[in-house]
Structure 1
Amino acid sequence: MTDSDTNEHTKEGLRRTLRDLSNLHGVSGFEQAVVRYIRQRLESLVDEVETDRFGNVTALKRGRNAGPLLMLSAHMDEIGFIVKSVEANGFLRFARIGGSGDGLLGCRKVDVNGHFGLIGSLSGHLGSAARLGQVAPVSELYIDVGASSADAVSKMGINVGDPVSFISEFMEFTGGDRVCAKAMDDHAGLAIMIQVLTELKGEIPFGSVRAVATVLEQVGLRGAAMAAYRIKPDYALAIDGSPAADTPDLSVTKDSSVSMGNGPVVNLAMSSGDVIIRGHIAHPAMKRQLLAAAATRRVPVQLAAKTGGGSSEAALIHIARGGIPAITVGVPRRYSFSPHEVIDLRDATGAVNLIVQFIREMENHIDLGFV
């Protein structure tokens, strides 16, 4: 099979997984449907799969030697909302789980614990020009589930505390490899992790790999912290998205160096603020080994130092126990935290190729010293 044939096979696998995941709902704290799907996909690819009490799914691929132990992580949860109260006339009030801008919410289709709903918006025929030009904050928004009373809502089985997630079908752009769906953050990472294990099926790596599909990332990277403490990896690679800045409203020099279609991203620094204080700075040995794998496999990569907009699971993994060398591989993504996020399957395929090669070179990872 040629490299071109292999890449097409990889893209098809990624496409299948992303389509499946787009039909599931897994707001932070409510990832059960995604947990079941990930377990089912992983069981035939690895030696052992376990789920901890919080829902983190860990797949073990045993190596030929006692070490090193590599942790891969990608998160299962997506941004969404939670039902806060029910109005007497049947409308639902809600609060955010994770971040989604107010301007993205009006008239969006949502799933309310298995029921169709619509985030309401001021009628264009009844609002003044001034009001129609304003963005309503989430505190003033409501969800219409087709009920006319609180009692009717209750009889539907909808209650305070129920999860709310976007409804957004998987779509493909014409004439290319770009695809669109909700929660590419981090369905793309999950698809990459599954595809990596698919392509390594039948191989026994030098050391062992624990691939972890984590919970509660969008609300503080919590699942990764739990998993890293429990499995005690020697080093770790987080797989997540990287906001692309190649649209008319952003700059690839001022905002981010990341563009779609130019390959996976090796994140060298990530922070939730403009100053890199909290977050993660890539371990030098991880950078060296990952770029060596990229060179060997001839995978073009983009280097990024991202400030603002959040960090990845590497931020908490690397400070677990006595310190774990870690780095993040990202997939360029447009329209983050919206119901319609876009990635390029060529970038995701590059990430698969990069991580597969990195694992095949585990024998070179015995010494991951800082200098």
Structure 2
Amino acid sequence: MFKENFYNDLKELAAIPGAPGHEYHVVKRLVELIKPHADKVEVDHMGNLYAYLEGNQPGPTVMIGAHSDEIGALVSTIEKDGFLRIEGLGGVSEALLIGRKVEVNGHFGVVGVKAGHHQAPDEKRTAPPMNQLYVDVGAKSFDDVIEMGINIGDPVTYISGIDRFTNPDLICGKAIDNRSCCLLLIELFKNLQERNFSGKLVGVVTAQEEVGLRGAKVSTYKVNPDYAIVIDTIACGDTPDVDSYPVEIGKGPVFPLLAAGQKSANGNIMAHQMKDLFVRFSKEENLPYQLSVTANGSSDVSAVHLVKEGVLSGAIVIARRYSHSPVEVADLNDFETAYKLLEALVKNIDKWGNMDFVK
């Protein structure tokens, strides 16, 4: 039942456009979904959502965060003939934009592609740079575009619904990164209504993760948690074009021990206390898990752990193929396993033990 409900809810939530800085429609829906299960819900001026739930006995403040935004673009220019130029937001790829259906501030559009009949041989082998791409919204002039309600600075996101493979556990679509983990957070609040945990749980859905982990910095400062867990997705290595990265879909959630490389100021080395905690509970609950060390990619945890005096933080992430594309692929079993681990961690906060750096 978990997988069926999760799939159906994700179809709805992932379809809502939410480019960085323009997450308002997503956040509005998330407020509606989580408010009945929280003591209090707030949204700050940046678009970060905060949901609070008090446990039945004293304990630490634990923040669990996921981000609401997806990669996208903004309208940068409106041409006199009604075509739109765009500027990318986040890790959007020119090669994946060409010929795609997109939504522009509520309007249908397509990213234009030069007909193969008109392409020179070298053009057939390369993707145009971002400043040469354009969006066709069916307008014939600048004035047509303005009358439609589209203007410079409006968000552009993929149109690509969530679908299933013949194997019903595998799903595909846009914004699995990271609407999927927003749903895990909501599911956690639903199942903690008996408040059978210690301390305070603060569920945070951050804005603008895809453009520099910005919401995470603001929200962590506000919450000032004792511990933080970030839930997100991560690129995997189980396709023919990736070598020597042993992370696969369907093998359980991933604990990224090193993210964004040793030389990056925006990276994260997971605290050994959090790694040990995640591994211990996974084993106790008989749940599969994977360990990851990669020079690429990051998540909100890279910002969270540096706030104020430093927050003891760790990430639990879900492997997905074809990252930052309109055809991200993930396994529903991984989300179910991650949920079970999160629930076990929260319900047993009083069993976390000594979390000091030196024990």
Same-fold status (TM-score > 0.5): yes
For 1:182 and 1:275, how far apart are their aligned partners in 2?
A: 30
Aligned partner of 1:347 among 328, 334, 349: 334
For 1:240 and 1:355, how far apart are their aligned partners in 2?
A: 13
Q: Aligned residue for 2:115?
A: 123
Q: Aligned residue for 1:231?
A: 223
Moved more, 278-287 or 219-228: 278-287
Counterpart of 1:280, as a letter, is N
Q: Does 1:285 align with 2:273?
A: yes
Q: Aligned residue for 1:359?
A: 346
* DSSP-derived class of the 1:218 partner: helix
For 1:366 and 1:159, how far apart are their aligned partners in 2?
A: 54
* DSSP-derived class of the 1:278 partner: coil
2:161–2:174: 8 Å Cα contact kept in structure 1? yes
Q: Aligned residue for 2:15?
A: 23
What 5-or-longer segments of structure 1 have no aligned partner? Answer: 1-8
Q: Does 1:267 align with 2:259?
A: no
Question: Residue 138 and residue 282 in structure 1: after superposition, are their counterparts in 2 closer, same or farther (change >3 A)?
Answer: same
* DSSP-derived class of the 1:61 partner: strand
Q: Aligned residue for 2:189?
A: 197
1:13–1:195: 8 Å Cα contact kept in structure 2? no
* DSSP-derived class of the 1:355 partner: helix
User: How large is the Cα RMSD of the aligned pairs?
Assistant: 1.4
Q: Does 1:46 align with 2:38?
A: yes
2:252–2:333: 8 Å Cα contact kept in structure 1? yes
Q: Aligned residue for 2:106?
A: 114
Please list, as runs of the form range in 1=range in 2, the aligned pairs for 1:121-270 lying within 5 A after superposition: 121-251=113-243, 253=244, 256-270=245-259
Tell me how far 1:278 sits from its aligned partner: 3.5
Aligned partner of 1:300 among 283, 288, 298: 288
* DSSP-derived class of the 2:189 partner: helix
Tell me how far 1:366 sits from its aligned partner: 5.8
Tell me how far 1:277 sits from its aligned partner: 4.9
* DSSP-derived class of the 1:203 partner: coil
2:65–2:205: 8 Å Cα contact kept in structure 1? yes
Q: Aligned residue for 2:95?
A: 103
For 2:340 and 2:41, how far apart are their aligned partners in 1?
A: 23
1:246-286, Cα deviation, whole Å (9 max, x unpaired): 000002x2xx2210110111111111x46455311111211
1:73–1:211: 8 Å Cα contact kept in structure 2? yes
Q: Aligned residue for 1:369?
A: 356
Tell me how far 1:200 sits from its aligned partner: 2.4
For 1:34 and 1:242, how far apart are their aligned partners in 2?
A: 21
1:266-321, Cα deviation, whole Å (9 max, x unpaired): 111111x464553111112111222121112111000111211x311111111111
For 2:114 and 2:19, how far apart are their aligned partners in 1?
A: 26
2:104–2:157: 8 Å Cα contact kept in structure 1? yes
For 2:264 and 2:130, how far apart are their aligned partners in 1?
A: 29
For 1:260 and 1:366, how far apart are their aligned partners in 2?
A: 31
For 2:193 and 2:173, how far apart are their aligned partners in 1?
A: 28
Tell me how far 1:101 sits from its aligned partner: 1.7
1:126-175, Cα deviation, whole Å (9 max, x unpaired): 22333222211111110000011101111111100100000001100113
For 2:220 and 2:122, how far apart are their aligned partners in 1?
A: 51
Tell me how far 1:367 sits from its aligned partner: 3.4
Q: Aligned residue for 2:320?
A: 333
For 1:291 and 1:46, how far apart are their aligned partners in 2?
A: 29
Counterpart of 1:96, as a letter, is G
For 1:98 and 1:318, how far apart are their aligned partners in 2?
A: 21
Tell me how far 1:87 sits from its aligned partner: 0.7
2:173–2:327: 8 Å Cα contact kept in structure 1? yes
Counterpart of 2:256, as a letter, is N
Q: How many residues align?
A: 358
Tell me how far 1:342 sits from its aligned partner: 0.8
1:242–1:258: 8 Å Cα contact kept in structure 2? no
Q: Does 1:56 align with 2:61?
A: no
Q: TM-score w.r.t. structure 2 length?
A: 0.96
For 1:13 and 1:329, how far apart are their aligned partners in 2?
A: 21
For 2:130 and 2:228, how far apart are their aligned partners in 1?
A: 37
Tell me how far 1:204 sits from its aligned partner: 2.8
Q: Aligned residue for 1:79?
A: 71
2:54–2:195: 8 Å Cα contact kept in structure 1? no
For 1:274 and 1:110, how far apart are their aligned partners in 2?
A: 36
Moved more, 360-369 or 296-305: 360-369
For 1:322 and 1:217, how far apart are their aligned partners in 2?
A: 21
Counterpart of 1:98, as a letter, is G
For 2:262 and 2:313, how far apart are their aligned partners in 1?
A: 21
Identity of aligned residues (%): 37
2:48–2:206: 8 Å Cα contact kept in structure 1? yes
Aligned partner of 1:319 among 286, 298, 306: 306
* DSSP-derived class of the 2:277 partner: helix
Counterpart of 1:314, as a letter, is V
1:239–1:329: 8 Å Cα contact kept in structure 2? yes
